[in-house]
Amino acid sequence: MKFPKGSIVKHRSGDIKGNVMNTFESQTGTVSYFVSWEDGSSSLHKEDELHWANIDVAIRIKNFYEK
The total of structural domains in the chain comes to: 1
Is residue 25 one of the residues assigned to a domain? yes
Is residue 66 one of the residues assigned to a domain? no
Return mean pLDDT, the chain.
84
Q: Which residues contact 52 (CB under 8 A, 6 or more apart)?
A: 3, 7, 8, 9, 10
CA distance linking residue 40 with residue 50, whole number of Å: 18
Is residue 41 one of the residues assigned to a domain? yes
Is residue 59 one of the residues assigned to a domain? no
- How much is the pLDDT for 63? 57
Taking only the tens place, the pLDDT of each residue in 13-36 is: 877 899 999 999 999 989 999 999
Is residue 3 one of the residues assigned to a domain? no
Is residue 61 one of the residues assigned to a domain? no
Is residue 56 one of the residues assigned to a domain? no
